């Protein structure tokens, strides 16, 4: 293979610093048949474990697009450690897909052999930090590659937490060398729910560790006592204040692969493409700003 084709293969495998789209089952056939102009796609790793039509579609799509794998089931925050069988399944999907990025969450879901089907929050303690780092280390060693860790959206905090979440995440990246998947919507949701300053969160994340950004819609729930809580349900367009925060994230991190996620009431692919186009304009603007700053 000559240098040009090596370079082209390499570029095909990498996730470009452009806006991508979360690929969901209902869009499989459309993507294969119509080959929309999308820079890359991201899928949930757990949806492609096993055989049948879903991984077959992904094989076909992978021939034309870079793919990022985003897991929800490794439970990197479990005190009991990693479920090795699940890790094996992740590795099998990875071998098949040859993804440009592999990511998971700063959260936990497994306890005493039971899978609690949500991304549960961790207490921000030295003990939890040490456990997460051990689990991330084991995962990266087993998979033989760097993974990125996503900041969660959360609806509760634990009394005995001693470390701000943004410092916790930055420290996991520092100790393990993992990347950070900065979910801007999650920062907005958690900051709003807990009274944090979203900018403080963004500014605590080391730009060199940020491998990807996520954007999604969230909902606002009015509770019985009149309080408002924001729920990260991935069921609507990205909210205007999240777009504003995304601009600030781009200023800090530079152009990075950015994904628009939509998981509840998934709309037509063109709606997702429209959201990705808005993100792409912001990324391009940041790229131009960087070039101008460099020229000056």
Q: Using CB under 8 A as the criterion, what x/- string covers residues 127-146 for binding other proteins?
A: xx--x---------------
Q: Which of 30, 34, 50, 277 binds other proteins (CB under 8 A)?
A: 50
Q: Which of 36, 123, 164, 235 binds other proteins (CB under 8 A)?
A: 123
Query: Is residue 168 within the footprint of other proteins (CB under 8 A)?
Result: no
Q: Which of 29, 111, 200, 288 binds other proteins (CB under 8 A)?
A: 111
Q: Token pair for residue 47?
A: 């949806």
Q: Token pair for residue 135?
A: 């689990």
| Nearest by Cα to 133 from 170, 103, 94, 184 | 170
Residues 6+ apart with CB under 8 A from 176: 133, 136, 137, 140
Parallel/antiparallel/unpaired status of strands 228-231 and 219-222? antiparallel
If the CB atoms of residues 142 and 207 are measured against other proteins, the closer one turns out to be: 142
Residues 6+ apart with CB under 8 A from 219: 230, 231, 233, 235, 236
| Nearest by Cα to 217 from 232, 207, 195 | 232
If the CB atoms of residues 119 and 250 are measured against other proteins, the closer one turns out to be: 119
> What does DSSP assign to residue 50?
S
| Rounded Cα distance, 59 and 61, in Å | 6
Contact 151, 186 (CB under 8 A): yes
| Nearest by Cα to 149 from 130, 166, 134, 136 | 136
How many residues touch other proteins (CB under 8 A)? 52
Q: Which of 7, 14, 84, 229 binds other proteins (CB under 8 A)?
A: 229
If the CB atoms of residues 72 and 163 are measured against other proteins, the closer one turns out to be: 72
| Rounded Cα distance, 180 and 188, in Å | 16
If the CB atoms of residues 121 and 257 are measured against other proteins, the closer one turns out to be: 121
Query: Is residue 49 within the footprint of other proteins (CB under 8 A)?
Result: yes
Residue 227 Cβ vs other proteins, minimum distance, rounded to whole Å: 5
Contact 191, 197 (CB under 8 A): yes
Q: Which of 60, 125, 170, 267 binds other proteins (CB under 8 A)?
A: 125
Q: Which stretch binds other proteins (CB under 8 A): 154-162, 167-175, 201-209, 248-256?
A: 154-162
Q: Which of 1, 3, 37, 156 binds other proteins (CB under 8 A)?
A: 156
Query: Is residue 113 within the footprint of other proteins (CB under 8 A)?
Result: yes
Q: Which residues bind other proteins (CB under 8 A)?
A: 46, 49-53, 55-56, 72-75, 77-80, 83, 85-86, 89, 108-118, 120, 122-123, 125, 127-128, 131, 155-160, 194-195, 223-225, 227, 229, 231
């Amino acid at each position: 293979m000559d240098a040009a084709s090596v370079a082209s293969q390499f570029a095909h495998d990498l996730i470009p610093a452009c806006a991508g789209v979360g690929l969901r089952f209902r869009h499989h056939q459309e993507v294969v048949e119509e080959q929309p102009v999308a820079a890359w796609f991201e899928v949930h790793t757990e949806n492609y474990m096993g055989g049948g039509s879903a991984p077959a579609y992904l094989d076909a799509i992978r021939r034309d697009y870079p793919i990022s794998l985003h897991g929800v089931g490794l439970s990197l925050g479990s005190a009991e450690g990693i479920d090795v069988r699940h890790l094996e399944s992740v590795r099998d999907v990875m071998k098949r897909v040859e993804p440009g990025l592999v990511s998971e969450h700063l959260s936990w879901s497994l306890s005493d052999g039971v899978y609690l089907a949500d991304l549960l929050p961790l207490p921000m303690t030295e003990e939890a930090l040490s456990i997460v780092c051990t689990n991330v280390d084991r995962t990266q060693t087993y998979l033989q590659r760097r993974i990125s860790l996503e900041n969660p959206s959360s609806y509760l905090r634990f009394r005995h937490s001693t470390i701000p979440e943004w410092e916790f995440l930055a420290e996991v990246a520092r100790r393990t060398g993992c990347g950070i998947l900065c979910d801007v919507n999650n920062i907005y949701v958690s900051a709003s729910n807990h009274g944090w300053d979203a900018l403080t969160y963004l500014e605590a994340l080391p730009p060199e560790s940020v491998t990807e950004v996520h954007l999604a819609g969230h909902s606002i729930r009015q509770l019985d006592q009149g309080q408002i809580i924001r729920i990260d349900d991935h069921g609507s367009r990205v909210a205007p204040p999240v777009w504003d925060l995304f601009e600030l994230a781009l200023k800090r991190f530079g152009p990075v692969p950015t994904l628009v996620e939509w998981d509840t009431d998934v709309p037509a692919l063109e709606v997702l493409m429209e959201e990705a186009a808005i993100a792409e304009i912001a990324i391009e603007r940041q790229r131009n700003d960087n070039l101008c700053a460099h020229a000056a």
